[in-house]
Structures are given as structure tokens and as C-alpha cells.
Amino acid sequence: MRVIGVPRRRVDARAKVTGQTRFADDIFLPRMAYCKLLRSPHPHARIRKIDTSRAAAHPGVYLVLSGKDLPIEYGILPVSQDEQALCVDHVRHVGDPVAAVVAREELTAFEALDLIDVEYELLKTIADPEEALATPAPRIHEYGEEGNVHKRVSLEFGDVEQGFAEADEVFEDTFFYQGNTHLPIEQHASVAIKDPEGKLTIWSSTQTPHYLHRALAKVLQMPAGHIRVIATPNGGGFGGKSDPFNHEIVVAKAALLLDRPVKICLTREEVFYCHRGRHPVLMKFKTGVKKDGTITGMHLQTLIDGGAYGSYGVASTFYTGALQTVTYHVPRYKFQGCRTFTNKPPCGPKRGHGTVQPRFGQEVQLDKIAEKLSIDPADLRLRIAETSNAVTANFFRLSVVNLSECIRRVVKNSDWKEKFRKLPEGHGVGLACSAYLTGAGLPIYWNKMPHSGVHIKFDRGGGVAVFCGATEIGQGSDDVLAGIVAEVLGLETFDIRLYTGDTDLGPVDLGSYSSRVTIMAGNAALQAAERGKAIIAEAVAEKFGVPKERLHFADKRVFDSVAPEKGVTFAEAVCLAEARFGTIGAMGSYTPPKSLALYKGGGVGPSPTYSYTAAVVEVFVDPRTGWLTVPKIWIAHDIGRALNPTLVRGQVEGSVYMGLGEALMEEQEFRRLPKKLSHALVHKFPSMLEYKSPTSLDMPEVITELIEEPDPRGPFGAKEVGQGPLLPIMPAVANAVYDAVGVRIDEVPITPEKIMKALAEKKAGREPRFGPSHFPNVNWPQALCVPPPWEGGDGNAVNDVPRTARHSTEKEKVLSS
Amino acid sequence: MVSITLPNESQKTAHIRLTLNGEETDVSFAPYKTLLEVLREDLGQTGTKHGCELGECGACAVLLDGKAVLSCLLLAVECDKKGVLTVEGLAADGKLHPLQDAFADLGAAQCGYCTPAILVTAKALLDVNPKPSREEIRTALSGNLCRCTGYQQIFEAVEEAIVRISGTQNG
């Protein structure tokens, strides 16, 4: 292959290094007005009265909007339509928008915010999940399980108590994973216009133009066909630009009313209020093992702080329990998850969505298990690692699995056997593994249509234009499309023109989330390119009188592979085909394979295939200060095939970086204002200076190895890389800290302060540990009992109505209601 | 409620002449504006980005008389008669600067949002220290946050550019 697998410059590199990539805020249009949002200063309140008349009369102000102008509720999940673009009568967190001003100048809009008079009636603030469980009223939302409990799930795959009875040892551990945020360097921005024909166009920094398209149609009560969403290249996303946002809807409405372009660009503080970041999760793992480390049963409970809105939360809740079985063989598994509402900015999907927190708990607990059983933690994992083509206890079908090979490589590369438990005090190594989806197996809203589509247009000059809804967020989705099409047609990526992220031009791709673009848009592009190639080959074969199977597409030519001089340029080949068949175009699409998980809740977790990662982290811990430094990380990732190794390495290292930030310093924290002020629950530090993230000085050396065994499900064998490599970093750091100074930090982030507290416990002869000690009582529903495949299960729950269609109930329920 | 009256953006009462990317440039603007705002809004040079407008992220770095500065913290009126270099001025004679080429080749730009500022900051380093060590590169770029790459490919691209620049000079 000439393109696939070759490290090369990405197709959009030139635009990026010359500053020509046009991000949303780089769009300036004639007559453009600017929008600012007035946000709630209170974490929880009723809006008694809102008077916008003074603001509307302010010179330079064109328009003031409030909740009554946009009352229709929306949200990313059909089951959580709980947001309003501007709050009508209820604000749920500091930063919830209540009004919008559009003015000739941004400063004027900002100034006029002060002229809006809002009368609030303060409500009791609910600060965390325990308080939410204990405080059924006032309710943050009028829907959910009860009180302030948003979602509760209970699933049991086999008799887990029997599993514990068969175990030689049973381990019980609680862990806490603090919330953190995406912190993309680009602040969210949008520009909306009423186009010359009178329809709506919006450019926005969104990872999911298709879902924004749907939300706009719903809230604005317009036919979707009259709305065009153009996702501008995102200046970093990481999941933070995956929800339809209030500011996007507001500028769309304003542009329609004013008949002029309207722009909004959020301040950094506002980006912290948009959030949708990592959920804080309290976890309890109970795991039974045989003396040789074999797992006999696992019971996981998660308590999730959802913040003020649903967002992706129902999916996040299931994700906290979905992938435990995908890494290691767990024959009996029980999962209970509970998400509560709190008066904080809403949590949502961040890189590794919902699986990161329990991955931390599971990998740290395995380290404890290995120590107790006197087994090397790498060897323990090799004994229990999942294998290719297995079906898990919760009915997820695995494809190619190279977890064991990942473990062996990092063990070898890091000199693990010479280091583990052998380094001097204060110096340690830790190991952890992970698995991640290569694309969600089900769409966010229930439908039977493809998850991704690609059109290719061929022109007489040999030009190839690729149209696809896929959204470039920096991960290289454009390069994936160009690479695949160029490879199939024997061209270079520079020969391919891309039209992506535009709901008018390209067929739907569901968006840049769940590591789905390479496999789904990639397979759609592969199919379209192969179909186009077949049309062209037929015409060329006819001209030369050779069987079309003998034709080869390479070096921008189409030629007889037996007699290479017999051939035409690619452009001539297109002309031959056009003369023979008329205008040439080709289409491709991709729908994931049907899942075996038929039970209610089985819609979250199935994927065409899973990526695997293993990592070893080396640390130095100063026992006098608790100061923790990471000099080196070894990582191996089971990628299937690297379509562009330069970009794949970038995704691995970027994941390591982001994981290290979570491990060491990043936290979305809140505090109460002093009583004499409002006592409001506010974000502790909505700024980049105080929200610590790793700089170039903090980044360790990373040794990356890619394991390439092509996966039959992926285009050219490719699996995901954007999220999986983040997951093992946090637990590997925790395990390395234990190796270095003998204390367990069962909480993320792992800060010097926590290490010092644990060291003090150790010195006092108590349990050398820092972490949560209890898990509150949750009123769990009766578990759906699904016998695992090896107990004769068919993927249905025995105590629920049998289900045959393969799609999650969550979605079906809403559509039928 | 107290209302503060802010100056009006359309009152372009300030005027400066600067050398922008080698070109004599006159610009009028509202006097409160930062160099970042004047570059992007009054001069149409959107290559320079912003991530916080508070001096925290480094995305707005430009070179002022050869020195890397945060354009969000600098009033444009302070830049009269100064030389400003932005990412738009890096390429010359139809050719990318070796730093740009190396960044493109080695994956140093993912989303590309922090890239313009990192490129000019790296250029400022190479202008005073043509053969910096990895540690010196790290230190020079420590004020530029990048959330995509993990920095490693950025360091490698700067080092590759150094090799290419010295190759050009020797050749």
C-alpha cells in the first residue's frame, strides 16, 4: 500500500501551520451583530420576574431574548429533553443562561446585560450525590427516577453471590474519581445567518452537527431541510462540543429575527459553565478471585454526580458499568449505577466517556489483588485477559483482541521485571490496561439508517471530491477519509478534495464521538471508493479488452497489471467512464453489526470492535513533600492497523497527556461563597490559570508501540486510538505511587497532599491509604437478570419482556411516547 | 444596579503605524483594544488565536520586535512604530518556514488552534538560540498550552526544523 500505513503529512496540515484553518470565531461577515448571554449567579432558583426593557432600549442593542422566546426543551438524548436555550423559570447552576443580548458591538451587548433585571427566588442548593439522595425536594428536574435521582440501573449477568462463594478471596474497595473538564483551547463559538433565500445557516464549533441540526429543527420549529449546520474545524473537542448548546440555538433564533449575521464566542469562564466533562464517580468494587487470580465474580456499584442536566448522562451511567467485562474474563457480573442531579454545570462525555472512572477502580483493585496473591500484576492480567472473538458476560462480541500482546510489550520495553518492587524508596513503576469502543454500536436516537455515509464525485479533470458529515476536531477525520479514498483509487491524499461536517453537502455522519469516525466514516468511504473504482475499471477494461479484475489503480494511473504500459491516466479513465456511463459518482455507507445484547440497557457498550491498551508509568515520589513526578511512560496500543502512523502516535501521546493531567492535577471543583455573600455554590476556579493542566515542562517521555493485527471489522483493519490510550494512565500512576512509597491513593487526582496524608497514616500504623471509606445506601431497583452465554443465556433478561429487535429501549421508549 | 459605560468600538480614535509581517501598516481602532483584537478584528489577521484573553493559555502569542508576547495582554496603542510578526508572516517567497514544514510533516499540529502561537514562539527561540536543547525548547514553549498533542511531536518538529535550517545554510 502506498498511502495507508505510511507516516505522512495530514491533508489539512498546511492550513493549520499557516493559520488558515477557519475556526468559528474566525468568521467575520458584513453587518454581523454580537451576542452575549446573561447567566444565573445562583446555583438553584426560580425566576420570579425578568424585565429586559432597559436593555432593549440601550443604544446599539438590536434584540433581547429571554426564556419565553425559546421555550421548547431539547437535549442530546431523546430521554433527557431537559434543557431550554434560555431558562424560562428555573435556573439550575451558576452560569445557566437566562437572557441574551444582541448588539452592534460585543461590548455593547456585554454592557446591556447589566440592564436586565431578574428577580430570583432562591431554592435549596444540592451540592453532591449524597445530598441529592437525601434531598428529594426541591427537585432540580420534574423527571427522573424520583426526587433528585436521575437514573438508576441494575443488571446482573449470572449469580454473582455464587461467584463470591466459589472464590478463594473476595476484595472490597471503594474509589472516588473527581470530575474534570475538557479544556479545549478554542472557546465555543457560533455564527448564524438567515441566508439570502431566507433559510438558516449556522457555523459552529460542534463535534456533532447532525444532532445540532435536529435540536435546531425542534426548538425553532423549522423543517430540518431549511437548516444548514456547518461544523467548523474544532480547536479541540474531547467530548466538550458534543451536545447541542444553548448559545447555538440563541444565535440561530437571533439571526432569523434580525435577518443579519449573529456571532457569539464564549469567554473561558463560560466554557467552564458549558462543561459536559467527566462525571465525579464514587465506586465500590467487590471482586472474587481464585488463588491463581482467575475472577469468579464482580459486583460494581457507581454513584454519579450528573450536575444540572441530563446531557449524555443516561449513557454515561451505563458506561460506568459496561466495559469491565471487555478487558478481563468476568464469568459473573453485577452492575448497579445511579446518577443524581446536582446544582453544578452538567457533566457529560469526556474522552473515555464513563468508562474512565471504573477503569481506575478496577485496575487499582487488580494491583491490590495481585499483591495479596503474590502474583506479578502483569502476569495476573495475562492470565485473565480477554481473547479474540469472545462474547462477554454482558453479551458484547469482541473481534480481534491483542491485550496480552500489549502487556508483554510494555513489560519488555519498560524493563518491568527488573523494576517492579525492586526500585529504591520513592521510585516506582505501575502497570494498568484498558479497552475501549471503536464506535458506539447504536445511534443516539433509535433508527435503522446508516451511522455514516460518503458520496464521491469524480470529474473529468481527474478530481475526486469526498462529501461526508464527519467532523474534523483535530483528530484527523479528514485525513482518514482522504487516505482511504486515495489508497483505493491509486491517488495521493493531495488529489482528494474534502467537504465535511456540512449537513447540506454531505450525507449524515453521526459525529465525532465514541471513537466512531475511523471505522464508520472510514468504512463508508472505502465502500464508496470501491464502487467508484468498479465503474471506472469497467470502462477502462472495455477499452483495452482486458478483464477488469486485472486492472490496477496506482500512481494516478489505471493499467493492466500484466502489461503495465497498457493503461491510461486516472483523469483519462474518469473520462472513459463518463463517456460510457454518464456522470460518475459513488456512495457508501456503514451500519454497525447487530448486537447480541438484547436486554434493556444493552444498547450502551456494544461496538463493532474494541481497542486495547497497556501502560507502565514510572514515578518519583518525594516522601518529605509528597511531590510526584513522572519521568517516563511506556504504552502499547492494539490499533488493528495505523492508517497514518504519524496521527496515530499523536492520538496515543495526546491521550497519555490528557490522562496524566487527570491523574495528577485536573479537577472541576466547587466551593461555597461566604455566608455574608450569597453562600452560592460556585465553580472554584473557572480559569485556565487555576484549573491546572500539564504544560510542556510536565510532559514525560512517552515510548509508544503499536500492535498491528488488522481487524476484519475496520477499514484496512483499523481500530480506534483517540480515547483508549487515556484509560490506563491514571491507575498506572496510582499503582506506581504504591510501588514507590507503599501507600494507596484510591482517588483521582493523585495530589501531593493526598500522598502526605496517606504517608501519615502509614507512619501511624494505620491503613496506608487515602480514599473514600463508604458507599451510601441507594434504593436500587430489582436487577434485570441476564444469564451469561455460558449459562445458556440468549441476551435477554429472564425477568423482563423478551426483546428481539436489537436496539436500546431507552430510545424506543421516547419515540413511542 | 450600577451601569458602567464602556467606550464604543466604532469610535476608532486611536491610530498606529506598525510593521506587520514586514509590511508598513496603518490602522485606526477603538483605543481600549488589545493587539489581539486589532489584529483579528481591524486588520483581518485571524491566524492569531485566543483561548482565554487573560494571558493564561498562550494561544495569542505574536512576536513584537522579535520577542514573543501575549497579544491579549498588550494594548495596541503600545505597538506604534513596532514590528509585529504573526503566523501569516512566517512563510516567505511562496515557501513555508522550515518550522511550518516540520510541524506539518511530524504531526505537531492536531487541531491547529495553539499552533500559530507555538510556531512564532519557537521562531523567537531559534532566532536567539539556533541550536537549543530539548530542555530549552520545553522551557521556551512552557507558556503555550496544547491539549491535543502531549507536546512530544511539537518538540520533535522544532528539532527537525533546526536540522533543516542548518542543512539549508550549509547547502
Residues B102 and B161 in one domain: yes
Partner-chain contact A186 B46, CB within 8 Å: no
Of A12, A185, A474, the CB nearest to B59: A185
**Residue B1: per-residue pLDDT:** 46
**Residue A463: per-residue pLDDT:** 95
Partner-chain contact B3 A185, CB within 8 Å: no
Give CA–CA dist A466/A491, Å, rounded.
Answer: 13
Contact indicator for A302, A338 with CB cutoff of 8 Å: yes
Give the cell for residue A574: 474518469
Query: Is pLDDT above 70 for A516?
Result: yes
- Report helix angle A645-664 to B152-170, nearest 10: 130
B72 to chain A, closest Cα gap in Å: 13
Contact indicator for A655, A628 with CB cutoff of 8 Å: no
Summarised one tens digit per residue, pLDDT across range B136-147 is 999 999 999 999
Contact residues, chain B, for A114 at CB < 8 Å: 1-4
Residues B66 and B104 in one domain: no
Cβ-Cβ pairs closer than 8 A, A with B, add up to: 197
Residues B80 and B33 in one domain: yes
Give the end of a domain, one of B35, B58, B89: B89
Query: Which of the residues B3, B4, B100, B110 would you substitute to probe the A interface, choosing the one with the greatest number of A C-beta atoms within 10 Å?
Result: B110
Classified as helix, coil or strand, A585 is strand
Give the end of a domain, one of B89, B112, B140: B89
**Residue A528: per-residue pLDDT:** 98
Residues B20 and B70 in one domain: yes
CATH of the domain at B25: 3.10.20.30
Contact indicator for B122, B140 with CB cutoff of 8 Å: yes
Give the cell for residue B133: 536543547
Give the end of a domain, one of B41, B64, B89: B89
**Residue A505: per-residue pLDDT:** 97
Give the cell for residue B75: 494594548
Q: What is the CB neighbour count within 10 angstroms for residue A598?
A: 23
**Residue B5: per-residue pLDDT:** 56
**Residue A182: per-residue pLDDT:** 98
Contacts of B8 (CB under 8 A, 6+ apart): A60, A105, A107, A108, B30
Residue found by looking up cell 424506543 in the block: A812
Query: Which of the residues B148, B149, B164 would you substitute to probe the A interface, choosing the one with the greatest number of A C-beta atoms within 10 Å?
Result: B148
Mean pLDDT for the stretch of residues A423-441: 98
Tell me if B27 is assigned to some domain. yes
Tell me if B1 is assigned to some domain. no
Query: Is pLDDT above 60 for A184?
Result: yes
Q: Nearest residue on chain A to B39, judged by CA atoms?
A: A26
**Residue A38: per-residue pLDDT:** 98
Of A26, A238, A699, the CB nearest to B46: A26
Contact indicator for A609, A386 with CB cutoff of 8 Å: no
Residues B21 and B85 in one domain: yes
Partner-chain contact B149 A653, CB within 8 Å: yes
Query: Is pLDDT above 80 for A813?
Result: no
Contact indicator for A111, A58 with CB cutoff of 8 Å: yes
Mean pLDDT for the stretch of residues A382-386: 98
Give CA–CA dist A691/A671, Å, rounded.
Answer: 14
Contact residues, chain A, for B139 at CB < 8 Å: 696-697
- Confidence tier at A812 by pLDDT (50, 70, 90): very low
Distance spanning both ends of chain B, measured CA to CA: 69
Distance of CA A405 to CAs A387, A400, A429, A687, A707, Å? 11, 12, 19, 42, 8
Residues B82 and B123 in one domain: no
Distance of CA A439 to CAs A219, A334, A711, A719, Å? 28, 24, 14, 9
Partner-chain contact A702 B152, CB within 8 Å: yes
Summarised one tens digit per residue, pLDDT across range B32-43 is 999 999 999 999
**Residue A804: per-residue pLDDT:** 62
Q: What angle do CA A382, A383, A388 make, to 5 degrees?
A: 75
Give CA–CA dist B100/B116, Å, rounded.
Answer: 9
Partner-chain contact B152 A19, CB within 8 Å: no
Tell me if B103 is assigned to some domain. yes
Partner-chain contact A687 B107, CB within 8 Å: no
Tell me if B171 is assigned to some domain. no
Tell me if B41 is assigned to some domain. yes
**Residue B7: per-residue pLDDT:** 63
Mean pLDDT for the stretch of residues A427-432: 98
Q: Nearest residue on chain A to B145, judged by CA atoms?
A: A695
Nearest Cα neighbor of A485 from A525, A533, A519 is A525
Classified as helix, coil or strand, A784 is strand
- One-letter amino acid for residue A224 of the chain: A
Backbone angles phi, psi at A279, to 5 degrees: -70, 135
CATH of the domain at B123: 1.10.150.120
Tell me if B122 is assigned to some domain. yes
- Report helix angle A729-741 to A356-372, nearest 10: 30
Edge-to-edge strand list for the sheet holding B67-70: B23-29, B14-20, B83-85, B61-64, B67-70
Tell me if B119 is assigned to some domain. yes
**Residue B6: per-residue pLDDT:** 58
Partner-chain contact B9 A107, CB within 8 Å: yes
Give CA–CA dist A232/A225, Å, rounded.
Answer: 20
Summarised one tens digit per residue, pLDDT across range A295-307 is 999 999 999 999 9
Query: Is pLDDT above 80 for B66?
Result: yes
Residues B41 and B110 in one domain: no
Summarised one tens digit per residue, pLDDT across range A645-685 is 999 999 999 999 999 999 999 999 999 988 887 788 999 98
Give the cell for residue A237: 473537542
Summarised one tens digit per residue, pLDDT across range A123-170 is 999 999 999 999 999 999 999 999 999 999 999 999 999 999 999 999
- One-letter amino acid for residue A95 of the chain: G
**Residue B122: per-residue pLDDT:** 98
Partner-chain contact A19 B115, CB within 8 Å: yes
Q: Nearest residue on chain B to A12, judged by CA atoms?
A: B104
Of B106, B115, B138, the CB nearest to A16: B115
Structural domains in chain B (count): 2
Contact residues, chain A, for B155 at CB < 8 Å: 696
**CB half-sphere exposure, A743, CA atoms < 13 A:** 30
Residues B32 and B63 in one domain: yes
Residues B45 and B110 in one domain: no
Partner-chain contact B8 A15, CB within 8 Å: no
- Beta-ladder partners of A784: A155
Classified as helix, coil or strand, A1 is coil
Residues B36 and B67 in one domain: yes
| Domain range for B22 | 12-89
Mean pLDDT for the stretch of residues B35-64: 97
Tell me if B7 is assigned to some domain. no
Give the cell for residue A768: 496506608
Query: Is pLDDT above 50 for A503?
Result: yes
**Residue A810: per-residue pLDDT:** 43
Q: Which residue has the higher pLDDT, A815 or A454?
A: A454
Of B54, B86, B116, the CB nearest to A268: B54
Name the percent of chain A lying above pLDDT 70: 98
Give CA–CA dist A228/A435, Å, rounded.
Answer: 36
> What's the sign of the alpha-carbon dihedral B30, B35, B36, B39?
positive
Contact residues, chain A, for B4 at CB < 8 Å: 111, 114
Residues B106 and B85 in one domain: no
Residues B83 and B133 in one domain: no
Query: Which of the residues B39, B113, B142, B158 would you substitute to probe the A interface, choosing the one with the greatest number of A C-beta atoms within 10 Å?
Result: B113
Summarised one tens digit per residue, pLDDT across range A519-547 is 999 999 999 999 999 999 999 999 999 99
DSSP string computed for A96-164 = -EEEEEEESSHHHHHHHHTT-EEEEEE-----SHHHHHH--SS-SSS-SSBTTEEEEEEEEES-HHHHH
Partner-chain contact B41 A28, CB within 8 Å: yes
Partner-chain contact B112 A15, CB within 8 Å: yes
